[in-house]
Amino acid sequence: MNSLIGQILNNRYQIQSLLGRQVGRRTFLATDLTTQTLVVLKLLLFGPDFIWDDLKLFEREADTLKSLDYPSIPKYLDAFELETELGSGFGLVQSYIEARSLQDWIDTGRNFSEAELKAIATQVLDVLIYLHRQQPPVIHRDIKPSNILLDDSRSGHSPGQIYVVDFGSVQTLHHSGTLTIVGTYGYMPPEQFGGRTEPASDLYSLGATVIYLLTRTHPADLPIRNGRIQFKASSQVSASFEAWLKCLIQPDCERRFTSTQLALTALNDEHFIAPTYLPLAAKPADSKVELTKTNDQIQITIPPVGWRRKLEVIYTNIGLTLFCCLPLLLGLWHPLQGKRKKTIEKLCYFARPA
């Protein structure tokens, strides 16, 4: 992809530098030679790593950005087909935002106070409220530090202006039938692993993002108990803010806030107390199922049924069969047969013509 630096695509966009890469996609900083402004150019090329789901998500991102108009979201500018020395593909042009990602800020050693974390969460929630109120609702599905930009207009308790970018994983409830699983491990809610997303799924990702900014530890590296991320924040933030975070990262989406607006209201409540729930059922002591977690996947191993268990099942079925057939073997069906014969004779008697 470095060979594209300096090239002019679609007779208009001159590529300046590589901003990021994903499987099947590359994002460049480019100059619009018509307006002499910087733009973000995303390319999807039909290369060896291309899969059709990439094209589906690419087209969905373009269609979604066309329909959105919000100051904290990049604006759709252009889309086109292209031919390059690396192959054919598609280009998507968005407005360029002069800001750094939260991930970049953390990497440079910046710390955030509780007031700044609340301000960041408030601005992200404002964007999510706008997205979730669309018809059909738009779910981002990949809220994380690298997809949230923050400019350098820091002042007082305000950390600066927030922008939500990268709609390459976006989904609308109209497309909820898809089985495409996207997102980033550690920030994805449990239901997203099964290909199902709700507006509350974005809330979980926001909670995991704020926890990362607070602890400076990737959520995937934090301990899990009863399916929920465990973090120590009592000495750093207020009890109400910690309770708010714990409500966001409930593993069961029905136990999170029922709407993004309610999450915003609770964030501004200094006396917020999270509702209490019974703990999720723990793994049975005799369970042989093994759960292995790595940085990018979860592996569930279900062992095969052993021969002893198979014999138990066979003997149980034989026992049930003998029990059910025991009346027949003892001849208890004869009285029933006699009663049925008498009943038939009575019916025949009343049915005779007078």
Q: What is the mean pLDDT of residues 215-243?
A: 87
Q: What is the pLDDT of residue 178?
A: 46
Q: How confident is the model at residue 53 (pLDDT cuts 50, 70, 90)?
A: confident
Average pLDDT, the chain: 84
| 151 a catalytic residue | no
- pLDDT tens for 54-110 read 888 899 999 999 999 999 999 999 999 998 777 789 999 999 999 999 999 999 999
Taking only the tens place, the pLDDT of each residue in 138-153 is 999 999 999 999 999 8
Band the pLDDT of 196: cuts 50, 70, 90. Answer: confident
* pLDDT tens-digit readout, 177-187: 445 567 788 99
Question: How high is the pLDDT of residue 195?
Answer: 80
The pTM assigned to this predicted structure is 0.74
Average pLDDT over residues 308-330: 72
Q: How confident is the model at residue 156 (pLDDT cuts 50, 70, 90)?
A: confident
CA 226 to chain centre: 19
Residue 256 vs residue 337, higher pLDDT: 256
Q: In the prediction, which pLDDT does 47 show?
A: 77
The residue annotated as part of the active site, out of 32, 54, 142, 166, is 142
Q: pLDDT, tens digit, for every residue of 240-292?
A: 999 999 999 999 999 999 999 999 999 999 989 877 654 545 566 666 666 55
Q: Give the per-residue pLDDT at 11.
A: 95
195 vs 270: which has the higher pLDDT: 270
Looking at residue 292, what is its pLDDT? 56
Tokens 């923050």 — which residue? Answer: 150
Please tell me which residue, 98 or 47, carries the higher pLDDT value: 98
